[in-house]
């Protein structure tokens, strides 16, 4: 019987270090160096105001979303990725929805994120879930690599 995909919140249990290793591998594969959080994952996750959820399909980690809430005013989606061979099956949307719900639960008014305009799939996904483009931030990632700042306000 096929195992149903499930969104899991990264815990502090021993299995979490294996999961982080998998995610770091994916991060290096999917993102260019200047956009990759691979080197900072563990430090980032030690912070009390950040969280990570991943998509588990039969014990395999196939995607992840990372978020933080730097203040009581807003939260940020800091990463979202799905393995190339598992895309277009609804996993990215499920992860993003789960992260939005987490942030909503923290009674935050706004979620912000930055995304490279050339990442069309991600921009469409963010727009599908209600994010709006705020502005283009020049040289956000590196010289000549800009980012849209996007936001979602809760009512
Ligand atoms: C962006 C990403 C996470 C989407 O994951 P996914 O699991 O393939 O997305 P889903 O199957 O859940 O698709 C949900 C929506 O995303 C958008 N989308 C996803 N893939 C798309 C594509 N190839 N072209 C256009 N829109 C796309 C659509 O709006 C889609 O809704 P629809 O199915 O009703 O058209 C994935 O493409 C990815 O990991 N990309 C590389 C990393 C990245 O760019 N991350 C975001 C920046 S941090």
Choose the residue to mutate in 44, 53, 54, 88 for probing ligand 1, maximizing ligand atoms within 8 Å of C-beta. 88
| Dihedral pair phi/psi, residue 126, rounded to 5° | -60, -40
Atom of ligand 1 nearest to the CA of 95: 12
Other beta carbons within 10 Å of 29 = 12
Residue 113 predicted with pLDDT over 70: yes
Q: What is the mean pLDDT of the chain?
A: 91
What would the pLDDT profile of 16-32 be if each residue is shown by its tens digit?
889 999 999 999 999 98
CA–CA gap between residue 84 and residue 25 (Å, rounded): 13
User: Which residue has a Cα nearest atom 40 of ligand 1?
Assistant: 81
Atom of ligand 1 nearest to the CA of 89: 11
CA–CA gap between residue 62 and residue 87 (Å, rounded): 9
Matching residue, tokens 């249990």: 13
Atom of ligand 1 nearest to the CA of 115: 47
Residue 139 — left, alpha, or beta (φ > 0 → left; ψ -120 to 50 → alpha)? Answer: left
Alpha helices per DSSP H over 1-155: 15-30, 41-46, 91-105, 120-128
CA–CA gap between residue 54 and residue 134 (Å, rounded): 27
Query: What six digits make up the tokens of 144?
Result: 């000549």
The pTM for the full model equals 0.95
Choose the residue to mutate in 38, 121, 141 for probing ligand 1, maximizing ligand atoms within 8 Å of C-beta. 121
């Amino acid at each position: 019987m096929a195992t149903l995909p499930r969104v899991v919140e990264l815990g502090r249990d021993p299995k979490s270090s294996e999961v982080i290793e998998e995610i770091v591998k994916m991060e290096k594969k999917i993102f260019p160096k200047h956009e990759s959080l691979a080197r900072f994952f563990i430090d980032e996750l030690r912070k009390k105001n950040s969280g990570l959820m991943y998509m588990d399909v039969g014990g395999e980690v196939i995607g992840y979303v990372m978020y933080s809430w730097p203040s009581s005013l807003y939260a940020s989606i800091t990463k979202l990725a799905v393995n190339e061979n598992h895309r277009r099956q609804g996993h990215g949307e499920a992860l993003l929805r789960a992260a939005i719900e987490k942030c909503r639960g923290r009674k935050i008014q706004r979620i912000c994120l930055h995304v490279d305009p050339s990442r069309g799939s991600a921009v469409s996904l963010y727009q599908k879930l209600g994010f709006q483009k705020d502005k283009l931030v020049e040289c956000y990632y590196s010289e000549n690599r800009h980012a849209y700042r996007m936001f979602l306000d809760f009512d």
